[in-house]
């Protein structure tokens, strides 16, 4: 089927930047923002959804949420300590939330007043994080929600001409913010898009395609997953011909492919929460907390199926990590110290899991098999 805005490449990227991505094995996700202050609680009540979605809870007035920036002061935030913890855990890349659905920007954006400089903390948080991780040899990816609850021009759908006019302004705003991020933080290796599932965006295949091409021209080597674009018909991730639109499949969220055929031979990563659901800090973790052992098993499975595994952390409003997360990171790091050879630069070995574990192979072990 002829498509104007479908996949422009069939098969994997083979350039050095993407080869580097493929070798990571283990990554870290960080969700940090205004929601980290509440930790899922408001007025003595507990929100059962993911804590970073609390603004959408009918018990919490928008006005209250949108004024939280006045209390945002992560005074114990220590980017070097965050990078050290990630380094000990053995992660090769980190994805940080620059702006979640609430629209609050953790960097001093010229294009939105709803940003870190208006808080008691005042200082940029993204720059120091980018530099600390980069210095520790950990590649940085920026999470960016296209959907923005704070922007009046955001639309869920485009039903009228006025909607399209507003949404066109929103597109320009989005492009400006992304240009700003890549300009301020040239160390960035890729962008992790989110909030792209609404009809308005699905009707914007031409724009999302041009945006993707523009960002890659601005920042050669940039890696963007399949959660950004839509094709001519509003298909996401895979175009109407079944081809992946993006540098890797970005749909494995809190789930792992069943077997190798489910990956369709594409690059992919799986992003995982330690509790059942919820990415931002939550005072109460509902349900089962994955143990380090369970997370390590998932990591091994992902690498054995040619994917990367990314574990999410939700620091507290003061900028420190809960003990449970610190311990989890440390135990995974201890395991990585001994077993990293089976993870870094490793992939599908063609052998099924046995009762004693998963198989992965690297360039070196491939020769010795």
List of residues contacting ligand JFZ (CB under 6 A): 50, 52-53, 194, 251, 253, 271, 279
CB of 251 to ligand JFZ, least distance (A): 6
Q: CB 271 → ligand JFZ: shortest distance, Å? A: 6
- H/E stretch holding 180 reads helix 161-184
Do residues 229 and 27 touch, judged by C-beta distance below 8 A? Answer: no
- Dmax (CA) for the chain in angstroms is 64
Beta strands in the chain (DSSP E): 26-30, 41-42, 45-46, 93-99, 139-145, 190-194, 223-224, 249-253, 268-272, 307-313, 347-348, 360-361
Residue placing its CB nearer to ligand JFZ in the complex, 133 or 279? 279
Our CB check for ligand JFZ shows the closer of 226 and 328 to be: 226
- Collect all residues with Cβ–Cβ distance below 8 Å to 36 and sequence separation of at least 6: 51, 74, 280, 281, 314, 315, 316, 317
**Distance of closest approach, residue 52 Cβ to ligand JFZ, in angstroms:** 5
Give min distance, CB of 47 to ligand JFZ, in A. 13
- Which residues are bridge partners to 28 per DSSP? 94, 311
Q: Which CB atom, from 21 or from 53, has the smaller least distance to ligand JFZ?
A: 53
Contact criterion met (CB below 8 Å) for 227 and 248: no
The residue nearest ligand JFZ at its CB is 279
How many angstroms separate the CA atoms of 215 and 226, rounded? 15
In eight-state DSSP terms, residue 358 is: -
- Complex with ligand JFZ: residue 123 or 254, whichever CB lies closer: 254
Minimum gap (Å) between residue 279 Cβ and ligand JFZ: 4
For residues 166 and 271, which CB has a smaller minimum distance to ligand JFZ in the complex?
271
Residue closer to ligand JFZ (CB basis): 194 or 239: 194
- Cβ 220 to ligand JFZ shortest distance, Å: 27
* Residue closer to ligand JFZ, measured from CB, 266 or 360: 266
- Three-class SS of residue 292? helix
Q: Are residues 308 and 269 in contact, defined by beta-carbon separation less than 8 angstroms?
A: yes
Q: How far is the CB of 149 from ligand JFZ (least distance, A)?
A: 11
Residue 67 CA to its chain's centroid (Å): 25
């Amino acid at each position: 089927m002829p498509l104007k805005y479908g996949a422009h490449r069939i098969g994997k990227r083979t350039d050095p930047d993407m080869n580097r991505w493929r070798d990571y094995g283990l990554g870290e996700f960080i969700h940090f923002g205004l929601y980290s202050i509440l930790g899922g609680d408001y007025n003595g009540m507990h929100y059962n959804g993911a804590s970073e979605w609390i603004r959408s809870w009918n018990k919490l007035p928008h006005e209250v949420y949108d004024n939280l920036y006045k209390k945002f002061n992560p005074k114990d935030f220590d980017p070097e300590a965050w990078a050290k913890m990630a380094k000990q855990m053995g992660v090769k890349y980190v994805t940080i939330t620059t702006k979640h659905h609430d629209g609050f920007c953790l960097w001093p954006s010229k294009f939105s007043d709803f940003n870190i400089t208006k808080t008691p903390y005042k200082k940029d948080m993204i720059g120091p994080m980018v530099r600390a991780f980069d210095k520790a040899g950990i590649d940085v990816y920026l999470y960016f929600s296209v959907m923005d609850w704070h922007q009046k021009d955001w639309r869920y759908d485009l039903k009228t001409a006025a909607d399209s006019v507003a949404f066109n302004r929103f597109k320009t705003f989005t492009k400006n913010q992304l240009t700003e991020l890549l300009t301020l933080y040239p160390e960035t290796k890729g962008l992790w898009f989110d909030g792209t599932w609404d009809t308005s965006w699905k009707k914007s295949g031409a724009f999302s395609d041009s945006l993707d091409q523009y960002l890659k021209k601005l920042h050669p080597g940039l890696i963007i997953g399949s959660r950004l674009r839509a094709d001519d018909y509003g298909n996401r991730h895979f175009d109407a011909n079944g081809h992946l639109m993006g540098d890797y499949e970005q749909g494995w969220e809190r789930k792992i492919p069943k077997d190798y055929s489910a990956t369709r031979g594409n690059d992919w990563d799986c992003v995982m929460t330690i509790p059942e659901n919820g990415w931002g800090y939550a005072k109460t973790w509902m349900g089962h907390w994955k143990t380090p052992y369970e997370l390590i098993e998932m990591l091994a499975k992902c690498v054995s199926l040619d994917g990367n595994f990314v574990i999410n952390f939700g620091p507290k409003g003061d900028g420190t990590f809960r003990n449970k997360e610190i311990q989890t990171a440390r135990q995974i790091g201890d395991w990585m110290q001994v077993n990293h050879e089976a993870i870094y630069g490793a992939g599908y070995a063609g052998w099924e899991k046995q009762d004693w574990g998963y198989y992965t192979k690297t360039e070196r072990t491939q020769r010795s098999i």
